Each structure stands twice: as C-alpha cells, then as structure tokens.
Amino acid sequence: MRKTLTQMAIILCMLIIAGLSSCRKTEEPKESTKPAVVLSDKVALWEATDETHVKNVSLARIGDEVQSFFTVSKDSSGTEILTPEKKAAIRSSDNQEREFYHIKLDDGKEYWIQDLFLAPSARPAVITGDDVVLYSKPDMASPTSQLIPKYTIVGVHDYNLSSDYWCISAYLDGMRTPVVTEKYVKKEAVNTSLTDARAMRMYKIAMDTSTQEVVKKELLGNASKISSAFRDLIETELAKYAKVELPIFTINDVDIYEAIISDIDGANINVRNAPGLANTVVVTQISDGTIVDINGRTAETDTIDGVTTHWYRVVEPAGWIFGAYIAQ
C-alpha cells in the first residue's frame, strides 16, 4: 500500500512539472509601449498593406514625441527583456525593402516608421555645445571622429545610464554619416528640458519652411511664446521678419463636431498651418476616410480647382483643411 502511494505521488509530481513546463512554453510574449522621438523632419509614416508591404499615409515632424511598441519576454532566470517591435517591409513608393519600427501617436493611430528616423525608448533633448564630440563608450578614452552640431534635436535613451554621459541617437541631415545610434555625449553639452526641446522643435520647423516668410514669422512667433532657454535665439530670428505682414483671416469658432475626410481619388489630404494656399505650409497629411473633430471655420471662402468653400480647423492633428475634403 505504502509503495503504491509513493508511486502515485511521484506520478503526480511529474504531471505537475510537465504542466508547468507546458505553460512556460506556450506563454505568449506581452506587448508594451515606451516613449520615442522622431529624429528628422517630414518623415513618412507607413501603414501595413500586408505582411511584407507598407504604403505612405502620413508625415511626422522632427522632435515629435510618439510611443514605440516593445515585446516583453522573459529569459531563463525570469528577467523581463524588452525588444523594440521591428520588421522589414517593402515600400510601395519605390519597392525598396527597409527596416521599420512600430509606433503609436497620441491619437491612438498606429504606423510604421523607418528605423533610421526614430529613437525608441527615448525622450527629446537638444545639443547646446558647439560641435560636440560623440563617444562610442561613456568614457574620455573612447571618442569617435564624428561631431554633432549645436541645436541638433536628439533622443536621449533611458538605458545605458552614466553619471557623466547621455546615451543618444540622432539623424544628422546633410552629414556624410547621418545616422547616430546609441553614442555618448557629455551631459554638460545637452539640454534635456522637455519644454526647451519643444520650443526648439518649433524653431526647427519654422527654419525649414524655405522662403515662405509669412509662415516663418507665424511659426517663430508661436515658438517665442514658450518660456524656454532658446527664447533669445528665437526672438532674434523673429526680428528679421518684423516688416512681414501676417495674413488676416476671420475665424469663427464652432461647437466641436465630427466630420469625415473624403477624397474622390482616395488620396491623402494636406493639413495646413493656416487657411489658404498662399504663404502656408503643410504640417501633416490625413488619409481618406479618417474621422476628425472640427472646431472652427473661416468666414471667407476660397476657390481651388473650381470649388468654392470655407477652410475648416481640425482639432487633431491641429491644422486647416479645405472644405472640399470635408464630408459633413
């Protein structure tokens, strides 16, 4: 009898162990998100059309703060491992295969962004030193030959922490080696204030509007209203456009209501920083069929391609859309 009970106990233990092992093997990796930073301006945002292809549906601006998806798994010791969600896909625009990160915007919409232009698990910051040296390791003995210019917006990572150095990623437009991935800079050469980074983001966007002086003045004016360490820089630039007259629009506020973005060809629709085509800039695009909130309308009408209607103010993404593309 005692022998039989012992055998049953052994069998029961084996079954329990087998059951636990089976649970471990079938446990699915969890998904999480962490803050991330867009490192270049007017970066394409892509939507998956199938497992291996993506199409361009929107744009991101430099310094945009987004959420990057991570898979959460565990190693043999039970320690959690976070891995950015990434995949190779073929771009519909040129049939070239590239690597993409999976991201989410504040409005909850999910996109894919080319890996060169995103710093996952990072927050925005600004280089404040002149031609700052990049280091391969967080010590004085590991300098690289690469320099990063003053006022570059970078992503400061929340890992590889050091008492004297920040671990950063960046994209240096116009440089021979533009991609900077997980390099180190001295902390004294970086401004990590979120408010200051947002002001510099607006300044950068303003300076990237080519020769459109009216647009530059409006954007610089908005940036100067932010109490930041860069206010003197921004106001000095703004003073150059003192004689530029901003267009005057009569804008009527309306109670918020929903509308659908509609284009007969199913194309993406431009969202502008102000009503009208003259002296305005496209800040982003919205895909056909998107539902948006409207909270304003111009009193004046405009005529484009033979269609006369008003311009409408969209809450998110903030900007203006010509009424021909608003289905009410």
DSSP per residue over 63-108, as a string? T-EEEEEEEEEE-TTS-EEEEE-EEEEEETTT--EEEEEEEE-TTS
pLDDT tens readout for residues 80-124: 888 999 999 999 889 999 999 999 988 888 999 999 999 999 999
Q: pLDDT grade, residue 13 (50/70/90)?
A: low
- 251-327, what's its fold? SH3 type barrels. (2.30.30)
Q: If you average pLDDT over residues 231-241, what whole number do you get? A: 94
- 122-191, what's its fold? SH3 type barrels. (2.30.30)
CATH number of 30-120: 2.30.30.40
Among the listed ranges 9-13, 30-34, 38-42, 127-131, which one has the minimum average pLDDT value?
9-13
Domain ranges of the chain: 30-120, 122-191, 194-239, 251-327
The reported pTM is 0.72
* Residue 29, preceding peptide bond in cis (omega within 30° of 0): no
Q: How many Cα atoms are found within 13 Å in the side-chain-facing hemisphere of 243?
A: 1
pLDDT tens readout for residues 254-286: 888 888 888 877 788 999 888 888 778 888 888
Q: pLDDT grade, residue 171 (50/70/90)?
A: very high
Percent of the chain beyond pLDDT 70?
88
Q: Torsions phi, psi of 164, nearest 5?
A: -115, -10
pLDDT of residue 207: 86
What is the rounded distance in angstroms from the CA atom of residue 88 to the CA atom of residue 107? Answer: 25
Q: How many Cβ atoms from other residues are within 10 Å of residue 268's Cβ?
A: 18
Same fold across 30-120 and 251-327: yes
Q: Which helix (H) or strand (E) holds 232?
A: helix 231-239
